[in-house]
Structure 1
């Protein structure tokens, strides 16, 4: 391993000649003389002596073209034997035309890839013999015909890749919150079985990525004074109707605000009940609970919420006792204790509400109904083995 911080030392031609002269006139070894001259290695001195003995120059030719260094833009293995003046004229004419096309297609500092050279040969082969063009392009005859034979395969591959990119763009426009893992699953559902690394690369080429939700801040850790935190951030449920989470979020419609209350089953993240109102009051919460009891057997289940005034009221606590539900509260001011429902509201807003136009309550309810159906029946989740919540519940129940 080379030492860090070192830079290459450049020695003048006079210095090299003097070093060689000292070696030849004296009786010192390469190593001893190198140390006296301050050389890093005796190998440098050996190389200089060898060059002098072989009659070579000390000039550094690295990075320069070998052989003829004259500037000749008409590259290629020049043909020297011609049958006629016309043939010689046509050959040089082909050389000039090839050079013009090569300059227009050059990349990476003037380097012409072989595939580009083959394309130029195809364009010019109508007017000039293949043997000339192969010489001028500095390619082999077998390489050219191999490239020509596999051309259709490459074109088919490019066509398939363009089709794949169009599907990725279509999915991105519909679900702009999909990253490459979800995009891979969505493509498989459409019949494209490809590796996630390829999906990542194509999305990078298309300059698209998932929209990132804003992270919420973390607050203090004061214990609840109403119900103990039975959930305690254990968001995994072993069976349906074991653990519920609930919360309220607000939605702006013009100059007005609407409040959405939702209850989620932690077993499969399914939305079991939701209710919307212009008032953020106790009635909104109780209506949501009533919807839940009409669909599920809630006796013995845990219903977790934050310490909002609705969830700490006497009427709310009375209703839970009547239904046999165990109440659970987050620590005060700590939204991470109810992270699952907070995450759901974030998905709802970024994936649907912020992308929809609604001016009335009726339009808002329609938009929310569409997303609830999408979320429960269509939107697959990694936690659920790439299944939608309802599909996951039905599959395990079968």
Structure 2
């Protein structure tokens, strides 16, 4: 604005009329002559309030009336309800002024913080872990128990880097306390033996917005154990894609081939499946090794991971065969 005023002044100094010079610079006449006083625009707040009988009282009297309105037990009125009560007491006052007076005197209710405001949503749709146990995904799948004619809940925590199905549970109910128990198994059986804290690995667990995962007990338990929790955005299951893909494998290899006569029968089948998957079932993305075999090779320092610049796809190589460093692959266009 100051630069444009200088342009106008130069034209005026050469004999041009102020109105025409202001038009050339894109100013209205009032805009050119405007001088800021440094204060906020608008009327000053009134210090008095009128009542219906014509009497005028100071705002301090109104504040006293507000305190009397909200002082009884079990009354937690906000400024809108207080305005209604003041009208009943013959005050001529609008809700904006009531809000201002209550705010100035710290009489407003504290703002409610909804659970959604406390959530840490994913920053990146695709996770890019650089080592095991850095990014975990957790999800629940329904399993039909034919013998009991009801659904059970299968919950799995999967390591994105190694595709290892670390811990799982199958039950007819899935409450937050059961999720906490599963997290304890994860810590005792994997995170502590792998010394993730001493190795300064920031463990992140990603989930959808299911009630079991947003529960306060689960969130506090994760925080106490220095595990960062993040939530996928609503209606985006692909952001939890690795464990979703794993549960698709469960559907294909287990659910379509077996009919469960009881919970005990299902438990035995799934126990065999998880052991086979982790110890024996080779995966192409892991260089045709099982998750457990791959983790052993990685811990020996024999593997290196790269991510493609364009596709962001994860790919592993044997260090001794490729002599590669963990860098991003170039796009095929540059080959």
If the length of structure 2 is used for normalisation, what is the TM-score?
0.50
The structure richer in strand per residue is 2
**Higher gyration radius (CA):** 1
The structure richer in helix per residue is 1
